Amino acid sequence: MRYIEDDLKGNTILITGGAGFIGSSLAFYFQHNHPDAKVVILDSFRSGETLSNGNLKSFGHFKNLLGFNGEIISGDINDKGLLLDLEMNYKFDYIFHEAAISDTTALEQDLMIKTNVNAFKDFLNLALEHNANMIYASSAATYGNAESPQRVGREAPNNVYGFSKLSMDNLSREYIKKYNISIVGLRYFNVYGPREFFKNTTASMILQFGHQILAGKNPRLFENSDKILRDFIYIEDVVQANIKAMQPKESGIYNVGTGKARSFQDIVDILQKELGTSLACEYIPNPFVGSYQFHTQADIQTSKDALGYAPAYEMEDGIKAYASEIKRIYETEVKK
């Protein structure tokens, strides 16, 4: 679906983190709907480099870009020389800044702040230099354990990732006040959908439960999973929010969710229906009681007002749309 009327002919669009889940989804949106726009992807791609928790430092994967025919740059957003090259040799109209250390369990506070906050300032300055509209990934992690529904202005991050994203939001507000530039921060809630597989263990529980079920394993849920609720949002609605943020009524920070909280039990029940299984669930004690969000729900009224954002996918719709890809990934990547 096309979300803006403009054809973007002659426009140049930069997507940082473009080999990741959301970045690659945006790249294909432009390729399919605005083929006359020039899309440049910047990503560090994956290497063997890991964080202290054992997770990969970068989740960018070439397979997310199979079929993409725009320009691809491999590089680190912390590289000042790369920033200078982007400033001197391109003229961007829009910058979608998705690149980040996105692992909420990462312990490297220095790397998190350097990559997520300091490099973001460099890209804000690039947007200023090019007079480009900036759309960037914030996160619902800024809210921590704030009570539902989560609203902008009620932040209480409880990890360095959430803190880094809130710092990005504070920085963007500073630039919005000081400069005549369009800046929109999008606080993503629990995103799921095609191209998330290469996030490994940080991929959504929808994908992880789907692969458990396809392997014939009983889905393992925490006790009282019908009472653990999250705002799960399908990737197509995240793309919609990004595209509509290109031409906002007002710069600012906006939630991107469905505005509805659904349970982990719902996920398994809907998956079993779509995958044609009826495996018994196994319930295990929740070791994260006391350090775990039991309810997230985005207040999306300001997102509707300023962006014209209107989520199109209930969880039933999203999982139904995703089911064939869950099966394909299982056959081609998990079973091999």
Q: Please report, for the domain that includes residue 100, its CATH number.
A: 3.40.50.720
Taking only the tens place, the pLDDT of each residue in 108-153 is: 999 999 999 999 999 999 999 999 999 999 999 999 989 999 999 9
Mean pLDDT throughout 209-227? Answer: 95
In-domain check, residue 5 = no
Which pLDDT does position 11 carry in this prediction? Answer: 97
Taking only the tens place, the pLDDT of each residue in 282-316 is: 999 988 766 567 899 999 999 999 999 999 999 99
- Dihedral class, residue 60 (left if φ above 0, else alpha if ψ from -120 to 50, else beta): beta
In-domain check, residue 34 = yes
In-domain check, residue 164 = yes
State the DSSP code for 252: E
DSSP of 71-101: EEEE--TT-HHHHHHHHHH---SEEEE--S-
In-domain check, residue 244 = yes
The two tokens of residue 173 are 């507000």
Q: Of the residues 161, 192, 309, 322, which is catalytic?
A: 161
In-domain check, residue 136 = yes
Owning domain of residue 235: 12-334
In-domain check, residue 46 = yes
The two tokens of residue 185 are 């921060």
How far is it, in rounded angstroms, from Cα 149 to Cα 168?
22
Asked if 260 is an active-site residue, the reply is no
In-domain check, residue 1 = no
CB neighbour list of residue 310: distance below 8 Å, 6 or more residues apart: 240, 304
In-domain check, residue 4 = no
Q: Of the residues 29, 143, 192, 199, which is catalytic?
A: 199
Task: Domain count for the chain, please give it.
Answer: 1
Arithmetic mean of pLDDT over the chain: 95
Environment class of 135 (CB within 10 Å of its CB; exposed 0-12, middle 13-18, buried 19+): buried
Asked if 161 is an active-site residue, the reply is yes
